[in-house]
Chain A
Amino acid sequence: MISIGKGIDRLDGRLKVTGGAVYSAEHTLPRQAYGYMVTSSVPNGHITGFDTAAAQAMPGVIAIMTPVNAPRLPKQETPPPGVQRNPHLSLLQDDRVHYNGQPIAVVVADTFEQARAAARRVVVRYAQEPAELDFKAAQQHLRKAPSQPEKPADTNRGNVRGGMARAAVKVAQTYHTPLENHNPLEPHATVASWDGDKLTLFDSTQNISGVRKVAAQTFGIAPDNIHVVCKFIGGGFGSKGTTWSHVILAAMAARMAGRPVKLAMERTQMFGPVGARPMTEQRLQLGAARDGKLTAQVHDTICSTSFVDDFSEPCTTITRNLYQSDSLQTTQRMATMHLGVPTYMRAPGESSGSFALESAMDELAYALHIDPLVLRLQNYAEQDPEKGHPYSSKSLRECYRVGAERFGWARRNPAPRSMRVGNTLVGWGMATATYPANRSKAKASAVIRPDGTALVTSGTHDMGTGAYTIMTQIAADAFGLTVAQVTFDLGDTNMPEAPVSGGSQTTASVGPAVHAAATAARDKVIALAIADAQSPLHGAAPTAIASADGWLALRSDPSQRDRFSAIIARNGGQPVTADSESAPGDEKKQYAMHAFGAVFVEVHVDADFGTVRVPRVVGVYGVGKVMNAKTAHSQLLGGVTWGIGMGLMEKTEIDARTGRALNANLADYHVPVNADVGMIDVSVVEEHDPYINALGAKGMGEIGIVGVAAALANAVYHATGKRIRELPITPDRLV
């Protein structure tokens, strides 16, 4: 029985709903103490002094770690390639404050409450300096974004000036997206414990091997001495892909206190030190011929970054890849502000970038009097517009067709305000979605036990995505065992190394490694059977033998079969093991690899109040081979839901004088609740991709959010006649 693709229930589901899944902050060690971070309340300046006497005298207080007494860390060398640089961490090595909410001290006490109470009695004195807290003003000193692989700061192809001159219709508009915070349900937490020079970290992270490398680099100890464990994650969305200050601070505090320390962040502390989606200002210029064919595209992005370290939101990537056009120019610039360093947040680049590009495409469609979907088909890229490579697979045309059909797009009257029902303005909008198919090197290890069951391990993560389940399915099929006979384990640096679970790459990276390890172990059992005179398979060619449901059998005569357990028992009774390493090859040099999708939304706008509700969304995606229909559906559903939040609600409000987040809690930082979300109809089209990896999987963690905000803005325009070019689309923008 093939299990890949089947929508089997999450194997960790029961543990999670019964409370049996132990999350990082739930680990409690003998003699463990609690750490609580003191964070800055000013946006820029120096700390001139601490008054810790009152706090130190409070019940239960063990230590107060400040820049004055914190352990000195070795001078940071330039890290080896692939390991994050550390200047963005606040490790109490100096007295600088770069943003409001920056960790500046840690109080360690016997209980969490004692640590928090004492932290509030720590008096901090600052010499404040003027802070840059205005995005517009910060744009007076733009800097070029550091180029990342595949993401150069500036790109240019064709003759943009000529293309614009030739255009019959032009659109030139500026779009804004706000600061957003990831807000995973599980706050960041680390439990740190030293045993001599050996460090154990229970950490909520999307990158256990990254945490190990950063901690090793920071403390100047061997990576082998650091053990990182993360079995369950209550959401990360990019905010747990980086090793942030609190992880190292927990270990420093544990060393100082001479006891294990648990440092769990509070929700309010998560608006600054653990990343954010930066603000963007995006200038889009599109030129098109009368038939809608793009003659020129210009996409200039400015995003906010921090004084601590640089991060650039790669908004222009989507514009470089999505449509065929005669010419294109893109730029990425950064405006530096006294805010926490931004980071990757679900579909970094594509989510913010698609809001601008796909809004502008809608504006162009109206300017041309062409249906927005037809305009996109007119500019359909049959090959990578930038490099000219063929796509390894692309089903976008099919996504458009199926999506339009399921939505009923053909019945749309394009005139704004044409679909009013009483006080409700009805609007339909659409947008394209895309996300690159990423893959990194990953390792896995497999063992078939004498009883015929198997265990596969890889140091990857399950952020709630379904990795436990999916990897078990992949392994079961490769072994030829049932899902019930296979266990997959993850989240421990003692296991073979896997990459950061980000960029929608876990299935595409770890899946092939799991597949290879399981296949190799199975092949060893096949070899045992072939060599075993007592086996019905004795002497058969390896290729003549198939495995399924715990049996090996001749393809030509399945009645000639042998059990895994029987073969091992007759041949020494020892577990059969195999290791694998899997990595991308040259395929990216030959093919463009992307997932695509189309999203259609209906909005109901209250004509008087400007409140926007979303009764239905149709999203159709081409993501290669789906590993588990149920978890895949959940990924897309969650992505679309978040897109609704991005479009209508999400914004971190920053106080213009102090740079402090004003809505740093889940009552005031709005994400959609059930009442905001109507029917979400997400589906995938069949897609066979022979080039991308052995499994044909492209990854689907992020594409669901892409395009939703633009589709909403386009639908709001259709409903109201008002073009909203700044997110989120809250009632005050429509009153």
Chain B
Amino acid sequence: MQSFFYDRATDPAHALRLGQQTGARFLGGGTNLLDLVKGDVEHPMRLVDLTRIGLDQVSETANGAVRIGALARNSDVANHPLIRQRYPLLSQALLSGASAQLRNMATMGGNLMQRTRCPYFTDTAFDMCNKRMPGSGCGALKGYNRTHAILGASQACVAVNPSDMNVALAALDAVISVSSPRGERAIPIGQFHRLPGDTPQVDTVLLPGEMITAIDLPASPFARHASYIKVRDRASYAFALVSVGALLDIDNGSVRGARIALGGVAPRPWRVPSAEAALTGAALSDASIKRAATLLTAGAVGLKDNQFKITLVQRAIVRALRQAEGSV
């Protein structure tokens, strides 16, 4: 581990100032970035610790929307009454991630920035990883790829986004608020994470020096019908093989609106609006669910070790929608 400077910011403005220094990186709970620093994968010159700047509250804003401070801990958010009542999908997704100890440390903003678990990325002894060393090639494409992407990948990178939280945020149409010396901007979650294309080293649209301040959740008509299904190799403390966040707005037996986001299958939470549209205007049926699952996985390409994910995620979509329908 190289030496680095450590700054402890006292308030958001201070943090933003510190964050403009050369080579600075913001530090939340440290559950991902510090591991990567110890592993020689990340080499920050300066860490700006945000955990004492506030911005850790969950609060109601106008018209039934909710704002989550970027520094709120995953466990606090998962157990917050506003989240449990209005956004149970987010609560479920957060609680399915990592371990209790990690959730107590991890922040919401940090989780948005969580990097892939692809072993070719996390182990520097591998000399192929375009995300870590642009231009070196993708080790997973022709290597071990059981846990890798079936959607949205490129020849340059087939890694998946590991976060459960992001899947729920995607389904909930969350908006990410960020600050920089140039001002504030709001980024819809669907635009926050990038597909790899030829530049897999860039995970998100966040610019250097920009700091995540909050996650805004719009008022949701989906609170009564939410289901997060996570299929994994062991019952807890495992990343998703596939996961599905499903939300339904059911009026008198008929689906008025639907949101479905997939995890574990793509470089970012995967949504397909046409699949959601295919579910609306009628009661949920085996046929409509199958149509949605087909649309959601359109273009899916299995690699050597992960063909099974295509079938598995389709089944998880069915389960999630049926469970959401029945959940009260």
> Which residues of A line the B interface, CB within 8 A?
39, 41, 100, 113, 116-117, 120, 268, 423, 608-611, 613, 648-649, 653, 655-658, 660, 662-664, 667-668, 670, 672-676, 730-732, 735
B308 contacts across to A, CB distance below 8 A: 731-732, 735
User: Are the C-beta atoms of B236 and A731 separated by less than 8 Å?
Assistant: no
Cα A39 to Cα B308 in complex, Å, equals: 35
- The residue on B at minimum CB distance from A613 is B235
Indicate if the CB atoms of B126 and A113 lie closer than 8 Å.
Answer: no
Q: Judging by beta carbons under 8 Å apart, are B235 and A608 in contact?
A: no
| Additional A-B contacts beyond A608-B318, A608-B319, A731-B241 (11; CB < 8 A) | A120-B40, A608-B316, A609-B312, A611-B232, A660-B126, A663-B119, A667-B117, A670-B234, A673-B237, A675-B236, A676-B236
Q: What are 7 A-B contacts with C-beta separation under 8 Å?
A: A610-B312, A664-B123, A670-B234, A675-B234, A675-B235, A676-B234, A731-B308
Give Cα distance in the complex from A80 to B235, angstroms: 49
Is B208 part of the binding interface, using a Cβ–Cβ cutoff of 8 Å? no
Chain B residue nearest in CB terms to A116: B1
B residues near A100, Cβ cutoff 8 Å: 125
Docked-complex contact A609 and B315, CB < 8 angstroms: yes
Q: Which residue of B lies closest to A674 (CB)?
A: B236
> Across the interface, do B233 and A653 meet the contact criterion of CB distance under 8 Å?
no
Q: Which residues of A contact B2 (CB under 8 A)?
A: 117
| Contacting residues of chain B (97-151) with chain A, CB-CB under 8 angstroms | 117, 119, 123-127, 139, 143-144, 146
Contact of A611 among B231, B237, B311, B318 (CB under 8 A): B231
B125, B231, B239: most-surrounded residue (chain A CB, <10 A)? B125
Q: Flag if B144 contacts A608 (CB, 8 Å).
A: no
Within 8 Å of chain A (Cβ to Cβ): is B238? yes
Q: Which B residues are in CB contact (< 8 Å) with A732?
A: 146, 241, 308, 312
Chain B residues with CB under 8 A of A655:
119, 126, 139, 143-144
Which residues of chain A are within 8 angstroms of B146 by Cβ–Cβ distance?
A: 653, 732
Contacts of B117 in A (CB 8 A): 667-668
Given the interface pairs A655-B144, A732-B146, the reply to whether A609 lies near B235 with Cβ below 8 Å is no
Question: B312 — nearest CB in chain A belongs to which residue?
Answer: A735
A117→B3 CA distance, assembly (Å): 9
Contact (Cβ within 8 A) B119 A609: no
Tell me how far the C-beta of A415 lies from the nearest C-beta in chain B, rounded to whole angstroms. 24
Q: Contact at B123–A670, with CB atoms within 8 Å?
A: no
In angstroms, Cα B233 to Cα A735, docked, is 13
Docked-complex contact A117 and B1, CB < 8 angstroms: yes
Q: For the complex formed, measure the closest distance between the CB of B138 and the CB atoms of chain A, giving whole angstroms.
A: 12
A-B interface pairs (CB < 8 A), number: 83
Chain A contact residues: helix, strand, loop or mixed: loop
Determine the residue in chain A with the shortest Cβ distance to B310. Answer: A735
Q: Determine the chain B residues whose CB is within 8 A of the CB of A611 once the complex forms.
A: 231-232
Per the bound structure, the CA–CA distance linking A735 and B231 in Å amounts to: 11
From 209 to 258 in chain B, residues with beta carbon under 8 angstroms from any chain A beta carbon are: 231-239, 241
| Interchain CA distance A113-B3 in the complex, whole Å | 10
Query: Contact between B311 and A735 (Cβ–Cβ < 8 Å)?
Result: yes
Contacts of A673 in B (CB 8 A): 234-237
Shortest C-beta distance, A327 to chain B (Å), equals: 41
The answer to whether B143 and A657 touch across the interface, beta carbons within 8 angstroms, is yes
Query: Which residue of chain B is the closest to A653 with respect to CB atoms?
Result: B144
Q: Given known contacts A117-B2, A732-B146, is B234 in contact with A660 (CB within 8 Å)?
A: no
Chain A: which residue is nearest B38 at the CB level?
A: A116
Q: Are B143 and A656 in contact (CB under 8 A)?
A: yes
Interface of B (DSSP majority class): loop
**Given known contacts A117-B2, A609-B312, A609-B315, A731 and B139 CB-to-CB distance under 8 angstroms:** no
User: For A657, what are the chain B residues with a Cβ–Cβ distance below 8 Å?
Assistant: 143
Q: Separation in Å of the B266 CB from the closest CB of chain A?
A: 18
Top 3 A-B pairs ranked by shortest CB distance? A675-B235, A732-B308, A675-B236
Could you say which residues of chain A place their CB within 8 Å of the CB of B144?
A: 653, 655-656, 662
Q: For the complex, what is the distance from the CA of A638 to the CA of B167, rounded to whole Å?
A: 36
Chain A residues whose CB sits within 8 angstroms of the CB of B241 once the complex forms: 731-732
In the complex, which residues of chain A have a beta carbon less than 8 angstroms from the beta carbon of B239?
667
Determine the residue in chain A with the shortest Cβ distance to B242.
A609
- CB neighbours of B315 from chain A (8 A): 608-609, 735
* Contact B125–A113 (Cβ < 8 Å): no
The distance in angstroms between the C-alpha atoms of A10 and B302, with both chains bound, is: 52
For B236, give the chain A residue with the smallest CB separation.
A675
Rounded to whole Å, the gap between the CB of A126 and the closest CB of chain B is 11
Contact A41 B125 (CB under 8 A): yes
A649 touches B234 (CB 8 A): yes
Cα of A381 to Cα of B240 in the assembled complex, Å: 46
A650: min CB distance to chain B, Å: 10
Residues from chain A with a CB closer than 8 A to the CB of B124 are 120
Q: Which residues of B sit under 8 angstroms from A668, Cβ to Cβ?
A: 117, 119
Does A649 lie within 8 Å of B235, measured CB to CB?
no
Residues of B within 8 A of A653 (CB): 119, 144, 146
B1 — which chain A residues lie within 8 A by C-beta?
Answer: 113, 116-117
Q: How far is the CA of A39 from the CA of B312 in the complex (A)?
A: 38
Most buried by A among B1, B40, B119: B119
Q: What's the Cα separation between A609 and B240 when bound, in Å?
A: 12
Residue of B whose beta carbon sits closest to that of A677: B235
Contact with A along B265-297 (1 / 0, CB 8 A): 000000000000000000000000000000000
Q: B124: shortest Cβ distance to chain A, in Å?
A: 8
Task: Report chain B residues within 8 Å CB of A662.
Answer: 119, 123, 144
Q: Which residues of A contact B126 (CB under 8 A)?
A: 655, 658, 660
Which residues from B are CB-within-8-Å of A664? 123
Q: How far is the CA of A510 from the CA of B197 in the complex (A)?
A: 64
Specify which chain A residues have a CB less than 8 angstroms from the CB of B119 in the assembled complex.
653, 655, 662-663, 668
B residues 1-48 touching A (CB-CB < 8 Å): 1-2, 40
Q: How far is the CA of A609 from the CA of B242 in the complex (A)?
A: 10
Q: Who on chain A is nearest to B311 by CB?
A: A735
Q: Which residues of B contact A663 (CB under 8 A)?
A: 119
Contact of B238 among A120, A268, A608, A670 (CB under 8 A): A670
Residues of B within 8 A of A613 (CB): 235
A732 to B147 CA separation, bound complex (whole angstroms): 11
Q: Chain A residues near B231 (CB, 8 Å)?
A: 609, 611, 731
Determine how close the nearest CB of chain B comes to the CB of A120; give it in whole angstroms.
Answer: 5
In angstroms, Cα B101 to Cα A667, docked, is 13
Beyond A731-B241, A735-B312, whether A660 also contacts B235 by CB under 8 A is no
Q: Closest Cβ of chain B: how far from A655's Cβ, in Å? A: 6
| Interfacial chain A residues near B238, Cβ < 8 Å | 670
B133 CB to closest chain A CB (Å) equals 14
Pairwise interchain contact A649-B233, C-beta atoms closer than 8 A: yes
Complex CA gap A100/B125 in Å reads 10
Chain A residue nearest to B314 (CB atoms) is A608
CA–CA, A423 and B312, complex, Å:
15
Report the minimum CB–CB distance from A403 to chain B (whole Å).
25
Contacts of A608 in B (CB 8 A): 315-316, 318-319
Give min CB distance, A658 to chain B, whole Å.
Answer: 7
Q: In whole Å, how far is B150's beta carbon from the nearest beta carbon of chain A?
A: 13
Task: Contact check, B143 vs A670: say whether CB atoms are below 8 A apart.
Answer: no
Least CB separation from A40: chain B residue? B125
* Set of chain B residues within 8 Å of A735, measured between Cβ atoms: 308, 311-312, 315
User: Within 8 Å CB of B143, what residues of A?
Assistant: 655-657
In the complex, the chain A residue whose C-beta lies closest to that of B304 is A656
Looking across the interface, which residue of chain B has its beta carbon closest to that of A645?
B234
Cα separation A585 to B308 with both chains bound (whole Å):
57
CA distance A117 to B311 in the complex (A): 44
| Closest Cβ–Cβ distance, residue A79 to chain B (whole Å) | 33
Rounded to whole angstroms, the CA-CA distance of A730 and B231 in the bound complex is 11
Nearest A residue to B127, CB-CB:
A41
Closest chain-A Cβ to B297's Cβ sits at a distance in Å of 14
CB distance from A134 to the nearest CB of B (A): 13
Complex Cα distance, B320 from A609, in Å, reads 12
Answer whether A676 and B235 are a contact pair too, CB < 8 Å, given A113-B1, A731-B241, A732-B146: yes
In whole Å, how far is B163's beta carbon from the nearest beta carbon of chain A? 14
Kindly state the separation between the CA atoms of A610 and B316 in the bound complex, as whole angstroms.
11
Closest A residue by C-beta to B119: A662
- The distance in angstroms between the C-alpha atoms of A605 and B43, with both chains bound, is 44
Which residue, of B144, B233, B238, has the highest number of chain A Cβ atoms within 10 A? B233
